[in-house]
Amino acid sequence: MTGLRPLIHNEFIKSVKRSTVVLFIVMLVLTIAIGGIIFLLSGLVQDMAYDVDFFVDIDEMIDSARAEYNGSGDADSKLASAYELAYCEAQKYLLETDDYNIVAYKSAMYADVLDMYAAAKFQKYCNDILSMYPDISEQTLNEYSSLLEVDATQATVKAREYRQINSFDEYIDYMKKQIDISNLTKAQKEIERKALEYHVMIDPEGKDVYAAQSVQRYRTLAYSLEDKYDYETNNSVLPYDKASEYEKELKVLETGFRKDAETNMQRVNSEGAASAMMSISMSFVMIILIVLSGGMISSEINSGSIKSMVIAPVKRYKIILSKIITVALYGLGLTVIAYLITLIMISVVGGGLSASMPYVTSFLLVIPGPLFLLIRFLIYYFEAMVYAMFAFMLSVVTRNTSIAVAIPLLIDMVISGIISTISLFSSNHIVNTIINCLPTSHFDIVSRLFDSSALNLEVLYTSADTPSPIVSFVYLFALALGMVFLSIDTFKNRDVVK
């Protein structure tokens, strides 16, 4: 490898061109801007979703529903408006003690009690309607049978108890008592106790809605596996493949609860912002590398500067290797800078990243969020280098910078999208198999390697309809290596001097 170091040093000096510097600055600005915008929008959406003040609208909603109820002239429309009125009245009653906000830790309980209490209030309206329309059909009543079967006394007690819970500790104590006096099986009671334990673990103050949703998701999965019933889709029997999927997700959830107790909505938003910042910054890294690689040989051939290198006592393959190493180091440097900017932005504005968790065969591996983000950046860097090697090969073979830059960009921005769309809408196995053999189908390894799961953790994922991420990595590596050898062979055995 003697003589490579000065060649690489020389290539670095030539590579820092004004165009790449401008693109790099644009990349940094957009990366930071995208991150800031996502944090802002996430905060607004979260406020709209979970800090809704019902006081302004609830009375208007009740008045509107009551007017519709009083104005209805037939049993069917009167029953429909009666339930709407009962639902609004139940909502107001339950929310009054919470300053008309749904408290995070009571969100799941609120939904259950609201349904029960609304049904109880509806029963009173239904009795009035029956006295007004004694000939109401059985078919109409059957539509509301589930509401009429609710124990009104129990619903009223539950609603009263809900209103009396004013802290997270009171909620936990209340739920524990309910578990003890319930008719649940021993296994079901254990699920409920674990759910409460996890809730306290990941959200000690009970203020995060995301934590409550995660615990509720744990209950759904655990009950589905215990009862062999798909509570998520209400299927009567839990299919085997669905059970296997639920088991994996449940393991991810439980490990996440134990290993990453600080996971909350803010950190979930941080991880979403990090993904967006990573996508925009690495798109620019790819463009920069393609532009740089596409002109490395062709521009020097066209300008005649390649002659001084060819006639020098340096083997031609070293000239090619020095340029490839320069591109690789340059791209790696840009990737690391983009990663550090993203990490700093997330840490300062969003509070940092939680632990991410790939599900690997039969065991769970917990990776710290910053390290996991770096792994994803490096995977994107690898894909960018494959495109860069393609541009470099075209630069050597065609001696045309425009072609060497335009074709990779066209494939990445247009053709790959068209092929993905065809694959998405095609149900033909042969067509999908052919598409999976194309190089474009082996990019975007991150989305196939890491599929977002519960708690925004990551699960190693391989779909039968898409190439395996490992196969794609080997395929692209071999492809890039082949393009490097073709570039070296072309440069060594052809007259590249004008």
- Is 173 a member of any domain? yes
Residues 316-329 have pLDDT tens digits of: 778 888 888 888 98
Q: Which carries the bigger pLDDT value, residue 298 or residue 48?
A: 298
Calculate mean pLDDT across residues 11-18: 62
Query: Domain ends where: 207, 231, 263?
Result: 263
**Spatial contact of 388 and 293, defined as CB atoms under 8 Å apart:** yes
Residue 306 lies in a domain: yes
Q: Which residue has the higher pLDDT, 240 or 457?
A: 240
CA atoms of 316 and 491, how far apart (whole Å): 7
Q: Determine which of 163-177, 241-255, 417-431 has the lowest per-residue pLDDT on average.
A: 417-431
In a domain, 431, yes or no: yes
Angle between helices 209-227 and 265-294 (to 10 degrees): 90
Q: How confident is the model at residue 272 (pLDDT cuts 50, 70, 90)?
A: confident
pLDDT surpassing 70 at residue 134:
yes
From 312, 274, 282, 199, select the one nearest 24 (Cα to Cα).
282
CB 146 within 8 A of CB 106: no
Asked whether residue 38 falls in the same domain as residue 114, the answer is no
**Same-domain pairing of 209 and 292:** no
| Co-location of 411 and 292 in the same domain | yes
Q: How many domains does the chain have?
A: 3
Q: Give me the mean pLDDT over the 336-350 stretch.
A: 82
142: amino acid identity, one letter: N
Position 306 confidence tier, pLDDT thresholds 50, 70, 90: low
Same domain as 438, residue 340 = yes
Per-residue model confidence (pLDDT) at position 123: 92
Rounded to whole angstroms, how far apart are CA atoms 450 and 367?
A: 13
**What is the band of 455 on the pLDDT scale with cuts at 50, 70, 90?**
very low
Domain identity same for 142 and 160: yes
The range of the structural domain enclosing residue 122 comes to 53-164
In a domain, 498, yes or no: no
Instruction: Tell me the average pLDDT across 176-201.
Output: 91
**Is 140 in the same domain as 174?**
no
Rounded CA-CA distance 429/7 in Å is 49
pLDDT of residue 452: 46
425 and 347 part of one domain:
yes
Asked if the structure places residue 213 within a domain, the reply is yes
pLDDT > 90? residue 258: no
What does the pLDDT read at residue 151? 92
DSSP state of 367: B
Q: How confident is the model at residue 85 (pLDDT cuts 50, 70, 90)?
A: very high
Same domain, 323 and 453: yes
From 222, 242, 263, the end of a domain falls on 263
User: Could you give the CA distance from residue 134 to residue 70 in angstroms, rounded to a whole number?
Assistant: 18
Mean confidence (pLDDT) of the chain: 79
120 and 254 inside one domain: no
Output the CA–CA distances (angstroms, integers) from residue 414 to 406, 408, 418, in the order listed.
11, 10, 6
Does residue 222 fall inside a structural domain?
yes
pLDDT-derived band of residue 114, with 50, 70 and 90 as boundaries? very high
- 270 part of a folded domain: yes
Residue 203 backbone dihedrals phi, psi, to 5 degrees: -145, 75
Same domain assignment for residues 23 and 117: no
Whether residue 145 sits in one domain with residue 14: no
- Final residue in a domain of this structure, among 164, 191, 207: 164
How far apart (Å, rounded) are the C-alpha atoms in residues 280 and 27? 7
Long-range contacts of 459-466 (CB under 8 A, 24+ apart): 459/248, 459/249, 459/252, 459/357, 459/358, 459/359, 460/358, 460/359, 460/360, 460/361, 465/423, 465/432, 466/436, 466/441
For 173, other C-beta atoms within 10 Å of its C-beta total: 13
- In a domain, residue 307? The reply is yes
Q: Which helix (H) or strand (E) holds 363?
A: strand 363-364
Structure-block tokens of residue 267: 């950190």
| Sign for the pseudo-dihedral over CA of 108, 110, 111, 113 | positive
> What's the pLDDT at 463?
45
Q: Which of 41-45, 304-308, 384-388: highest mean pLDDT?
A: 384-388
What pLDDT was estimated at residue 106? 85
- Say yes or no: 288 and 348 in one domain: yes
Per-residue confidence at 203, pLDDT binned at 50, 70, 90? confident
3-state secondary structure of 52: coil
